[in-house]
Structures are given as structure tokens and as C-alpha cells.
Amino acid sequence: MKLKPLADRVIIKMVEAEETTKSGIILTGAAKEKPEVAEVIEVGPGGMVDGKEVKMVVKKGQKVITSKYAGTEVKVDGEEYTIVRQSDILAVVE
Amino acid sequence: MKLKPLADRVIIKMVEAEETTKSGIILTGAAKEKPEVAEVIEVGPGGMVDGKEVKMVVKKGQKVITSKYAGTEVKVDGEEYTIVRQSDILAVVE
Amino acid sequence: MKLKPLADRVIIKMVEAEETTKSGIILTGAAKEKPEVAEVIEVGPGGMVDGKEVKMVVKKGQKVITSKYAGTEVKVDGEEYTIVRQSDILAVVE
Amino acid sequence: MKLKPLADRVIIKMVEAEETTKSGIILTGAAKEKPEVAEVIEVGPGGMVDGKEVKMVVKKGQKVITSKYAGTEVKVDGEEYTIVRQSDILAVVE
Amino acid sequence: MKLKPLADRVIIKMVEAEETTKSGIILTGAAKEKPEVAEVIEVGPGGMVDGKEVKMVVKKGQKVITSKYAGTEVKVDGEEYTIVRQSDILAVVE
Amino acid sequence: MKLKPLADRVIIKMVEAEETTKSGIILTGAAKEKPEVAEVIEVGPGGMVDGKEVKMVVKKGQKVITSKYAGTEVKVDGEEYTIVRQSDILAVVE
Amino acid sequence: MKLKPLADRVIIKMVEAEETTKSGIILTGAAKEKPEVAEVIEVGPGGMVDGKEVKMVVKKGQKVITSKYAGTEVKVDGEEYTIVRQSDILAVVE
């Protein structure tokens, strides 16, 4: 089973935070807080969205940071995903 | 009796959730919660909507995930449907 | 006496709900609830509305479903009508 | 003394409701309620309004129905008028 | 000392209401209420305002009616003025 | 140290009100109230702002009147400035 | 590890305020208040943002002043950053 996002939507999955602070993991305050880094699982086709041409720039497998509270959470096969608009993605983590 | 949606509207019907978690059914938390997957029943013609050209991409029979609370619920011949805009459809389930 | 709607407006009249559930009548829950089906009485000319070209697609005599609470209610010769924008009409009932 | 409306504005004057229900007078519920029919007194020139071309279609002397609460009330020479935008006029009464 | 309004702004000065009802003076209810007629003192140059071309049509010395509460009040040399956008001016009094 | 405003922004500095009423100083009510006249300190380059071409018309050294509460206050080298958009400037004082 | 901002976003880092008032450091009121000056760490590519072409003008290493409360705070490798839109940047400090 697979989710294919429409338009400028992107399916992301929150990355489990590890408790190492100097190792490159992004943590919001403490290791127990909700991590802000997500992995891109699927990318919509882009195209005309609300009368404006949107070109998708994020790619499957990239780690990204999104606006907090952005998107809709869904559960597929027991796994939790979030569906956001590409414009809710603030930065790519390299 | 049949409903023909106007413009960019899509008529969907919520899919009954089965209680099998690993079988590909999307459940929000528990099997008793409201399912988020709907089947597309009818698709509007698209065209100019609020001054913008909208091309319909969803198709009759597809399973889709919509924004929660999106759309208007109607009852036709004892069956409950929801009328949403195509932009309220987040992803197609394949 | 007659009402001629301006621009993209449509004059509709709520259809009295009959208490037969399997006969094609749309009821919201029970026969006593406010029906959601209306008949189109008059259709405006369309044209430029808020700077956007609107083409009227609904026709006099059609049965339609509108957003709840949409429009302005008026009483003409003792009859109650509702004036809505065409964009408040979700679907045509066939 | 005369008011010349600017842009897409129309000066209307509420019509006194008569207490005859079958005679073509529009009443909201009872004869004592505020009438919803107004006479067009002056029509603005239209033209570019908020960056959009507006063509005036209502005419001096027409009876119209407006959105409730639309417009600004002014008193000129002891008479009360309402200044509305043409887009607040829902229908012409013929 | 002089104020030169920018863009689509107009500087107006409220006209003192006289207590004669049939003489062409616009009063809101009673002579003691705040008058709604203002004199145009200065007119901005118009031009591109918020990405839209605005042509100024009101002229210095005209009497106008504005939306209530529109604009910003300023005091220059002990005199009170109001700075409004031309779109807040509803009608010219002739 | 110097602030260079971006886009359509303008850096202004409130002018100290003097207590002479007939001398051309703008006062809001009394000399003790916050003055509404500011001096233009720096002017941004204009250009495309939110998809619209903005041409800067105010000039360094001009006295201007702004909307109350508009802009962001900053302190540079112990001096207080306000950064506003040019569209928050209502009029130039000559 | 590195953050690459998308679209018109800019990654900034608040500058520690030093307690010298006449030395060119911008302080909001007192040295203990949150400083308003930030250093630009990374600049997004610009391009089409919400249907409008955005050209990036700020540069890595510049000191900037932003709207208070603008942006999203993130922690990378133990350092706190803020991701803002370029339009939230009011001025460059030179």
C-alpha cells in the first residue's frame, strides 16, 4: 500500500531523535522533545496549485525541517506519516 | 438518483474501516476511530474556479485521503456522502 | 413580480422533503430536518464578478445542493427564496 | 442638493412596505419588519475598482434587493439613504 | 505648513453642521451628531497603489461623504484633519 | 553604524514636539502627546515587493506622517528609530 | 551538518549583545533584553514563491534586523537558529 500525494503535497515521516547532542542530530531543547527533522517519503507532482505553477524541489529520502504543526497526520499500515505542502518545508538538512 | 458535482468538487464516500492493522487499511489510532480513507464517487468537470483554471486529476473509484473536517456532508437515498473540493484531497491511496 | 439575480447569483427555493427514504429524496438525518435540496428558480447572467469571468452552468428548474447557511433569504409574494452565488452550489441532483 | 456616488457605489432608498401580502410587496415575515426592497436613486460611474474593471448594470429607478446590513446610511435633507457597492445588490425586482 | 498626501490618499476636513434641516445640510439624526460631510483639502497623486493603478477623481474643495471611522486623524497648526484613501470616499455632495 | 532598509521599507525617527501651537508644529491634542511627525532617515530601494513593483517616493530628510502603531521600533547607538513600509506613510509635511 | 533553506527563506543566528551602549551595538532598551540583530547564516535560492518571483538580496555574513517573533526556531548541533522569510528582514546593519 502506498500514498501518492496530489499537487504540491509531500509525505514526510518524523525521524526518531537519538540522544547524542554533538553528533549532528537536531533536537528541540532536550532529546525527549518532538524531533523537527523528517524524511521525505513521497513527493507530489507539483503543477498548477491555486492558480500558480509550483515546481517540486524536495526529493524522496531527503531530511527536511518543517513548520511546527503544519500538515495532516495519517496512519498507513501502522506507521504515522504527515502530509504537508512543499511550502511548509523550511530547509533541507545536508 | 445521482449527484453531479459542479466545478472542482468531488463526491466521496468514507470507507468502512476493517479491524486488521497490517493489511493495508489506514486507521487513525484504533479501528473504532473515524476512517480517513474515502472512495471517489463522482468528479466535477473542473474548469475556471474562482478565476483559476482547475484540471481534475482524481478519478471515480480511487481511494483518497482528505483533510479532516473538509467538505459538506449530504445524505442521498439513505447513504452519506461528502462533497469536497479537489484541493481538499491530500493523497491517493494505491 | 419577479426577481432577476445579478452577476453570478442564483435564486433557489428549498424543496419540501417527503417522508420516503428509498425514493430518491435527500434527507439530512430525518424527514423533519431541513432539506438540503433546492430548485433553481432564476439564474443571473454571470460575466465579470470580482474581476473574474464567471460562466453560469446551473439552469432554471434543476435540483441542486448548496452549502448550508449560504445565501440570503428573501420573501416574495409570501414565498421564501434564497439568493446564493453559483459557487455556493455544490452539486446538481439528477 | 445631490449625492454623486463614486466608483461602483449605488445610492439606494428603502421602500416603505405596505401591508398587503398578495400584492407583490416583499416583506420579511411581517409588515412591521424592515423591508428589503430599495429603490436605486443614483448609480456611480463604475470603472477600475480595486484594480478590477466594474461595469454598472443597475439603473436609476430600479427596485433592488441588497444584502442585509450592507452599506453606509446617510441623511440628506432629512431623507435617509444607503450607499452600497453594486456587488451588494443581489437581485432586481421586476 | 502643508500636508501632501501620498499615493491614493486624500486629506479631508469635517464640515461644521449647521442646525437647518431643509437647507441642504446633511445631518446624521440631529444637528448635534457628528457631521458626515467633509471638504477635500488635498488630493494625493494616485498611481500604482498596492500593485494597482489608481486614478484620483475627487478634487480639492469638493464636499464628500466617507465611510465612518475611515482614516487617520491628524492635527496641523491647531486644525484637525483626516487622511483617508480615495476608496473610503463614498460620494460627492453637489 | 548604519541601517540600510530592504525593499519598500523606510527608517524614520519621531520628531520631538515643541510646545508652540501656531508655529507649524503638528501636535496630537497637547504638546505632551506623542508627536505624529517623523523624519525620514533612510529609504529602501523599492523594487518588487510581494510580487508588485514599488517605486519609492519619500526622500531622506522629509518630514512625514505615518499610521499610528505602524512599523517596528529599533534602537541603534542609543537612538530609537521606527522601520515602516512606505505604504504606512500617509503624507509628507512641507 | 548543514541546513539549506528553501525558496525565500533565510537562516539567521541571533547575535549576542555586548554591554557597551555607545559602541554601535543595537540593544532594545537594556543590554539584558533580547538582541534584535542577527547574522545571516544561509540564504535560500529564491525563485517563484507563492506565484511571485523573489530575488534574494541578503548575503551570508550580513547583520540584519528582523520583525520580532518572525520565523521558526530550530536547534542544530546544539546551536539555535531562526528560519525566516527574506520579507521578514527589515534592514541590513552596516
Mean pLDDT of E55-64: 97
CA atoms of G10 and G87, how far apart (whole Å): 10
CA geometry: angle C37, C40, C42, nearest 5 deg: 155
Residues 6+ apart with CB under 8 A from A35: A14, A15, A16, A17, A25, A26, A27, A28
Q: Could you give the 3-state DSSP secondary structure of residue C13?
A: strand
Q: Long-range pairs for C32-38 at CB < 8 Å and ≥24 separation?
A: C36/B74, C36/C65, C36/C66, C36/C68, C37/C63, C37/C64, C37/C65, C37/C93, C38/C12, C38/C13, C38/C14, C38/C63, C38/C64, C38/C65, C38/C66, C38/C82
F55 pLDDT band, cuts 50/70/90, is very high
The arrangement of strands across the sheet holding C9-14 comes to B3-5, C89-93, C63-66, C37-43, C9-14, C79-85, C72-76
Chain E CB contacts of D4 below 8 Å: 91-94
- Give the pLDDT score at B24: 58
Say if residue D51's pLDDT is above 50: yes
Quick check: E90 and D78 CB within 8 A? no
Residue-wise burial string across D47-84, b where 16 or more C-beta atoms lie within 10 A, e elsewhere: eebeeeebebebeeebbbbbbeebbbebbbeeeebbbb
Residue in F40, F30, B68 with CA at minimum distance from that of residue A71: B68
Q: Does domain G9-58+66-93 have CATH number 2.30.33.40?
A: yes
| Least confident range of B29-33, C80-84, D40-44 | B29-33
- Give the pLDDT score at E29: 42
Residue in E50, E45, E52, E44 with CA at minimum distance from that of residue E10: E44
Task: Tally A–B CB contacts below 8 A.
Answer: 65
Quick check: E90 and D5 CB within 8 A? yes
Q: Does domain E9-93 have CATH number 2.30.33.40?
A: yes
Residues 6+ apart with CB under 8 A from E9: E44, E83, E84, E85, E86, F90, F91
Q: Are D9 and D42 in contact (CB under 8 A)?
A: no
Say if residue C81's pLDDT is above 80: yes
D23 pLDDT band, cuts 50/70/90, is low
Say if residue B26's pLDDT is above 60: no
Quick check: E24 and D1 CB within 8 A? yes
Quick check: F94 and E7 CB within 8 A? no
Mean pLDDT of G25-52: 75
Residues 6+ apart with CB under 8 A from E73: E80, E81, E82
Residue whose C-alpha cell is 416603505: D16
F75 pLDDT band, cuts 50/70/90, is confident
Say if residue G45's pLDDT is above 50: yes
CA atoms lying within 13 Å on the CB side of residue E10: 28
Chain F residues within 8 Å of chain G (Cβ atoms): 1-7, 9, 11, 42, 48-51, 72, 74-78, 83
Say if residue C82's pLDDT is above 50: yes
Say if residue D45's pLDDT is above 60: yes
- Give the pLDDT score at C70: 86
| Exposed / middle / buried, residue F39 (Cβ in 10 Å: 0-12, 13-18, 19+) | middle
Chain G residues within 8 Å of chain A (Cβ atoms): 1-7, 9, 11, 42, 44, 48-51, 72, 74-78, 83
Q: Are E2 and F94 in contact (CB under 8 A)?
A: yes
**pLDDT averaged over chain A?**
83
Mean pLDDT of A58-79: 90
Per DSSP, which regions of F1-94 are E strands? 3-5, 9-14, 37-43, 47-49, 52-54, 63-66, 72-76, 79-85, 89-93
Query: In the structure grid, which three cell numbers stand for residue A84, read together?
Result: 504537508
Query: In the structure grid, which three cell numbers stand for residue B53, read together?
Result: 483554471
Chain F CB contacts of E2 below 8 Å: 93-94
Residue in B82, G6, B90, B59 with CA at minimum distance from that of residue A49: B90
CA atoms of B28 and B20, how far apart (whole Å): 13
- Give the pLDDT score at B12: 97
D18 pLDDT band, cuts 50/70/90, is low
Query: In the structure grid, which three cell numbers stand for residue F57, read together?
Result: 517616493
Residue in F38, F40, F20, F39 with CA at minimum distance from that of residue F30: F20
CA-only gyration radius of chain G, Å: 14
Task: Tally F–G CB contacts below 8 A.
Answer: 65
- Give the pLDDT score at B70: 86
Which residue type, as a one-letter code, is found at position D15?
V
Question: Which whole-number Å values give the CA distances from E50 to D49, F51, F54, F55, in the listed order?
Answer: 13, 10, 8, 11
Residue-wise burial string across E35-49, b where 16 or more C-beta atoms lie within 10 A, e elsewhere: bbbbebbbbbeeeeb
**pLDDT averaged over chain C?**
83
Q: Are D79 and E21 in contact (CB under 8 A)?
A: no
- Give the pLDDT score at E67: 84
Q: Could you give the 3-state DSSP secondary structure of residue A53?
A: strand
Tabulate helix, strand, coil % of chain A (nearest 5): 5, 45, 50
Per DSSP, which regions of D29-94 are E strands? 37-43, 47-49, 52-54, 63-66, 72-76, 79-85, 89-93
CA atoms of B61 and B39, how far apart (whole Å): 6
Chains A+D touching (3+ CB pairs under 8 Å): no
Percent of chain C with pLDDT over 70: 78
- Give the pLDDT score at E77: 80
Chains C+D touching (3+ CB pairs under 8 Å): yes
Chain B CB contacts of C67 below 8 Å: 72
- Give the pLDDT score at D77: 80
Say if residue B41's pLDDT is above 90: yes
**DSSP single-letter state for residue B28:** S
More confidently predicted of G92 and B67? G92
Q: List chain E domain ranges.
A: 9-93
Q: Could you give the 3-state DSSP secondary structure of residue E86?
A: helix
Kind of pairing between the strands at A37-43 and G52-54? unpaired
Interface test with C, best of B8, B11, B54, B75 (most C CBs within 10 A): B75
- Give the pLDDT score at E57: 97
Residues paired with residue A9 on neighbouring β-strands, in sequence order:
A85
CA atoms of B14 and B8, how far apart (whole Å): 19
Say if residue F89's pLDDT is above 70: yes
Which chain E residue lies closest to F26 (C-alpha atoms)?
E76
Chain F CB contacts of E9 below 8 Å: 90-91
Say if residue A80's pLDDT is above 50: yes
B23 pLDDT band, cuts 50/70/90, is low
- Give the pLDDT score at A18: 52
Query: In the structure grid, which three cell numbers stand for residue C37, read together?
Result: 435540496
Mean pLDDT of F31-54: 83
| Cβ count within 10 A of residue B30 | 10
Chain B residues within 8 Å of chain A (Cβ atoms): 21-22, 24, 26-29, 36, 50-55, 57-58, 65, 67-68, 86-87, 89-94
| Least confident range of B24-33, C63-72, F81-90 | B24-33
N residues, chain C: 94
C3, C48, C49 ranked by CB distance to D91: nearest: C3
Say if residue C34's pLDDT is above 70: no
Mean pLDDT of A6-22: 77
**pLDDT averaged over chain D?**
83
- Give the pLDDT score at D76: 82
- Give the pLDDT score at E33: 43
- Give the pLDDT score at G23: 54
Mean pLDDT of E62-75: 90
A65 pLDDT band, cuts 50/70/90, is very high
Please provide residue F60's backbone torsions phi and psi, each rounded to the nearest 5 degrees.
Answer: -45, 130
Chain C CB contacts of D50 below 8 Å: 51
Chain-centre distance of CA C16, in angstroms?
A: 13
- Give the pLDDT score at A36: 75
- Give the pLDDT score at B29: 42
Chains D+G touching (3+ CB pairs under 8 Å): no
- Give the pLDDT score at E76: 82
